[in-house]
Structure 1
Amino acid sequence: MARAPSGGAGAAAPGGSARHRHPGGPGPAARGRRVRSRAALRLARHRPRRRRGRVGGGLLRRRRLVPVGHGDFWLSDTPGRAGSNTWGGAHPRMVTWVRFQDRAAGGRPFCVLNTHLDDGSAYARARAAALITERVPGLAGSAPLVVTGDFNAIAHESPAHATLLGAGLVDTWDAARSRGPAYGTWHGWGAPAPGGDRIDWILATPDVTVLRAWVDLSADGGQWPSDHFPVCASLRLPAAPE
């Protein structure tokens, strides 16, 4: 059983990029201490500083998971060109992917993709979702797949969500055997909004069992760690084939 939060801590924790930083939020030193205390590994390759855009990374529990392959591609007509942006988005956007083996499941392989879709262009989001669906078979093969991210689009009300579900993925919030209260996942440093728009999603292939889904409202000293609330899911991988 893997706990796969979007932006939180767990067995595999892909992290999204926040668009704003609260002036009173935790500084880089505090964030660095937390990362080191988890003995985590950052899996994203950094772009040269001259390039602008959003980079997706991930944290993992190295005692549980073994990364056996990872890479990235940009959400554009030239996905192999770092920093490329050809669909009119406000920023270059990308996907970071990792293939893992789960020590607790006898080395069972699975794949995680993390992304952050554009906040300024619905067209760019739709094209990005289509590109992700094209790339998934070559990255995950027959292995279970989890896709996480800040999609900047409302679940069940956007072409990007429809495209990804149309490719065979399921929304873990919908598939969960139990779930916590629903909140809008972008709060802009304000109060939680019960029943608000869920723009951060965890998607998975249907062979992944979703035990529970919830929105994490944890605060550190009364301050949110991000302008998004983490969406979390407790997942169980299918048994490895004989």
Structure 2
Amino acid sequence: MGIWSLFRTKRPERLVIGLGNPGSRYAATRHNIGWGVVDRLADGKGLRKIWGCPGHGCRLEVVDEAGLNRQTILLVKPSTFMNNSGLAVEILSRRFKLAPERILILLDDVDLEPGRIRLRSSGGSAGHRGMSSVMEYLGTEQVPRLRLGVGRPAPGQSMVEHVLSPFESVDTAAIEAMLSRAVEAVNAWCWLEMDRAMNLVNTPASASGAMERQAI
């Protein structure tokens, strides 16, 4: 079944895609924080979750019809595994005829401390293989992304072990606050011009109230 046949409503105006790995063993890991934001966006909205198979063995968990800011937004958790994320993104981009600037990628970032977020309109992958895959499949670096801080590995810990491990309990409050700010940031991206959205999002956490007022 093609993914388009799963939808009986108008074509989405934007895609919000959280990067991560499928399976319970990865669910609470740092690498899956993008999926966590998608779940937070969907919580309480009564959205149905459906599985699609749009071809090439690409399975997607799709949360449809998120009415963010009076737009139709498709929330997506690709199940292609992190390093092949671009396959799902490219298929959806073509299927819904959406340019890269209408797609927001949510991903973990080890160069940001836990709790911090950064919204960017473009740039390199900074070594993130999921983001590298997205840029390779779309053929451009001009892809908006929301970077979610997960911090650096502890001394003696490998990068792979770090990102595929759960957050430390000491980071719980910071991560909870980050998820809330990330929801506000997605709203800002949906509603505002990119430069203004970045100015609002990339401010200290104390400014999040102002961000929420401007973005909703």
- With the length of structure 1 as denominator, give the TM-score of the two structures: 0.30
Q: 1 or 2, which has the higher helix percentage?
A: 2
Q: Which has the larger radius of gyration?
A: 1
